[in-house]
Each structure stands twice: as structure tokens, then as C-alpha cells.
């Protein structure tokens, strides 16, 4: 691909493109001079965001990965890669030390100044948000495929994911039973709990699984109040595995004030799934949907 077209497609500044071209020429010259150099189109990718790392692995581009962030835990081999730290507090030198050519990041990546510095260093920085939609996942797969040069694998993955999604959604769409009211709790510590309103990834997952978010009156994650919990009348409480542990297990959740007055509290219906699996909007999304559906069904029957 011609340098400038590629830049236009990826919103790079012309300056950065010039630098990249210099790098490529410099590398060519260096190769000719016998110095060790990377091949002109070799990719070194830093992935910031567990879901994006999963996509890279799914496209079999993991050989190009040189660094991941702290949320990239799946597959297990991702944890063996060098870490660039927490997504929201990246260090520019920490990333530059890995000499990447591309940085693929979720919308969480920051601080913005570091992303700007990486761009002006000539590294292609692509921020891929899923916007809590399945279509966002498809788009992410397409873009990661383009960035990693694995277009064919991306198309295949898109088809596979689409089929799995359709299969997972089918029983849900057929269901006639009234939707279950679910309360999603985001917990960092026993006394720091937020609930998910609309416009969150948790809300999106609940809609996909045919449940209804017990909290509809606000958007984003907001702190829990006992009256709001009672008014919401959830049938079921959903958390991430990490959050459940932080809140002190099922017993800890059931102790929350107000929960005892709800069906979820009285029937002890608390379920959890792993955080990145449930909310990452990565390639395991269809599997996550099925797992969530199964967990909910089991809890409601018990």
C-alpha cells in the first residue's frame, strides 16, 4: 500500500508518514550496510486491551506481538509477553523501548498526551472502540486484520464469529418467557460498588441475552443506594468474577443493604463471569453470551 493512502486510512499526520518513510528507507540502507535491521514491512505490535489481544491471537498474528497491557490475560500465552502497564496510564518510553510499529488500543487507553507522542514518533496508533455492539466487534476484527496484514484470516474469523453469534442468539430470540430483571454490580472493594445503567457494556450484554437491566434511569456506572436497589426489584444479580471476589463473595453481596428486600436477595441469585470474557466484546462474545444465558437459566431455576 502506498504510504500516503495508508496514512489517510489511519488518520496519521503527514509528518508521521514522512518519518515512517525515512524509517523504512533508513532500514533498507542499514540492511544494505549489513547492520541488523527489521524487514521493511515487519510489524511489531503493542496491544492495549484484552479483547484486542484476543483478536490478534485469533488471527494468528501473535508472532508480531511485542507487548500487551495488564488486562490482556487470555489466552494464557499473552501473559508471557512484556507488559506495558495499565491501559489508562501508559508510559511512552515503556512502549518505545519495545520498538513497535503499531499500537492497537481500546478507547480506554491514555493518557492522551502519550498517544499523541507515540503518533508523532511515527508509530501508527489505532484506537478501536466496540461501542458495546456486536457490529463493533465485527468492525474491530476487520480493522485488526487490516493492521496486522491478516485480511484473509480476518474475513474467516468474522464469518466464524457471525455464525457462532447467530447460533447463540437463536434460542434467546425464540424465548417467550418474560425477561429477567438483572442488576449488574461493578465492585472494586466491599464499600465501593457501582451499578450499571444504560449505555454501558453490561447493559448491552443484558439486552443481547434477553434480560432487562433493572437500572434504566441513568447512564454509566453510578454508586449503589439501597432504595434504588429495592425500587429496581432485580430477579438476579450479575457481577464479574473479580468484582465478586472484591466484594467478599456471594455472602458479601447478599449483605448489601436493600438487596434482602428483592427477589434476587431472597432467593440468593448471584452469578458471575470473568470480566474480560463478559464485557470485553472480543472474539469470545458469542461464547460469553451462551455462558451468560446458561448461568442465568440455572440461577432462575434454583
Partner 1 sequence: MKALAAPLLVGGLLLGVAIAVQCGAVPVTVGDWLGVFGLGGTGADAATGGAYVLWSIRIPRALFSVLVGASIGMAGALTQGLFRNPLADPGLLGVSAGAACAAALTIVVFAGLPVSIPLSWRLWLLPAAAFGGALGVCFSLDCIARWITPGSIAGLLLTGVALNAVAAAVIGLCTYLATDEQLRSLSFWTLGSLAGANWVLVVLLACLLLLAWWRVHPWVHAMNALALGASVAAQVGVDVRQLRSQVIVLVAVLAGFSVAWCGMIGFIGLIAPHLVRVWVGADQRQVVPLSMLMGGLLLLVADTLARTTAIPAEIPVGIFTALLGGPCFLLLLRGARGRMG
d(Cα 204, Cα 184) in Å, to the nearest integer?
11
Residue 142 in contact with partner 1, rule: CB under 8 A: no
Residue 111 in contact with partner 1, rule: CB under 8 A: yes
Q: Which is nearer to partner 1, 132 or 269 (CB)?
A: 132
Per CB under 8 A, contacts with partner 1 among 202-221 are 219-220
Please give the grid coordinates belonging to residue 23.
524509517
Binder of partner 1 out of 56, 78, 95, 193 (CB under 8 A): 95
Binder of partner 1 out of 3, 73, 110, 198 (CB under 8 A): 110
Whether 66 and 81 have beta carbons less than 8 Å apart is answered as yes
Where b means 16+ CB within 10 Å and e means fewer, 124-152 reads: bbbebebebebebbbbbbbbbbbbbebee
Question: For residue 255, which of 197, 203, 185, 181 has the smallest C-alpha distance?
Answer: 185
Q: Which is nearer to partner 1, 178 or 223 (CB)?
A: 223
Residue 24 in contact with partner 1, rule: CB under 8 A: no
Binder of partner 1 out of 97, 152, 189, 251 (CB under 8 A): 97
Q: Which is nearer to partner 1, 123 or 209 (CB)?
A: 123
Helix (H) or strand (E) holding 50: helix 50-58
Per CB under 8 A, contacts with partner 1 among 222-251 are 222-223
Residue 77 in contact with partner 1, rule: CB under 8 A: no
Residue 132 in contact with partner 1, rule: CB under 8 A: no
Which residues touch 40 (CB under 8 Å, ≥6 apart)? 24, 27, 28
Whether 106 and 127 have beta carbons less than 8 Å apart is answered as yes
- Give residues in contact with partner 1 (CB under 8 A): 19-20, 22-23, 26, 67, 82-86, 88-97, 99-100, 107-108, 110-114, 117, 120-123, 219-220, 222-223
Amino acid at each position: 500500500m502506498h504510504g500516503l493512502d495508508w496514512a489517510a486510512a489511519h488518520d496519521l499526520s503527514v509528518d508521521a508518514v514522512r518519518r515512517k518513510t525515512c524509517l523504512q528507507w533508513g532500514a533498507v540502507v542499514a540492511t544494505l550496510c549489513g547492520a541488523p535491521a527489521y524487514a521493511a514491512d515487519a510489524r511489531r505490535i503493542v496491544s492495549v486491551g484484552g479483547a484486542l489481544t484476543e483478536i490478534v491471537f485469533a488471527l494468528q498474528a501473535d508472532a508480531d506481538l511485542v507487548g500487551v497491557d495488564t488486562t490482556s490475560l487470555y489466552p494464557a500465552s499473552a501473559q508471557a509477553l512484556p507488559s506495558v502497564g495499565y491501559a489508562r496510564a501508559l508510559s511512552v518510553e515503556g512502549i518505545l523501548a519495545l520498538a513497535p510499529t503499531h499500537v492497537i488500543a481500546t478507547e480506554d487507553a491514555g493518557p492522551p498526551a502519550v498517544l499523541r507522542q507515540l503518533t508523532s514518533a511515527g508509530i501508527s496508533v489505532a484506537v478501536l472502540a466496540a461501542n458495546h455492539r456486536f457490529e463493533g466487534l465485527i468492525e474491530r476484527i476487520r480493522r485488526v486484520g487490516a493492521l496486522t496484514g491478516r485480511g484473509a484470516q480476518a474475513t474467516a474469523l468474522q464469518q466464524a464469529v457471525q455464525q457462532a453469534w447467530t447460533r447463540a442468539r437463536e434460542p434467546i430470540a425464540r424465548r417467550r418467557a418474560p425477561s429477567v430483571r438483572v442488576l449488574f454490580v461493578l465492585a472494586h472493594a466491599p464499600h465501593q460498588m457501582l451499578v450499571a445503567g444504560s449505555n454501558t457494556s453490561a447493559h448491552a450484554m443484558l439486552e443481547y441475552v434477553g434480560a432487562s437491566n433493572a437500572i434504566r434511569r441513568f447512564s454509566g456506572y453510578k454508586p449503589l443506594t439501597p432504595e434504588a436497589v429495592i425500587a429496581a426489584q432485580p430477579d438476579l444479580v450479575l457481577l464479574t468474577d473479580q468484582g465478586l471476589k472484591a466484594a467478599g463473595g456471594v455472602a458479601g453481596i447478599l449483605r448489601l443493604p436493600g438487596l434482602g428486600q428483592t427477589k434476587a436477595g431472597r432467593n440468593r441469585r448471584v452469578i458471575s463471569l470473568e470480566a474480560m470474557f463478559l464485557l470485553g466484546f472480543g472474539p469470545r462474545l458469542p461464547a460469553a453470551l451462551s455462558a451468560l444465558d446458561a448461568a442465568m437459566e440455572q440461577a432462575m431455576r434454583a
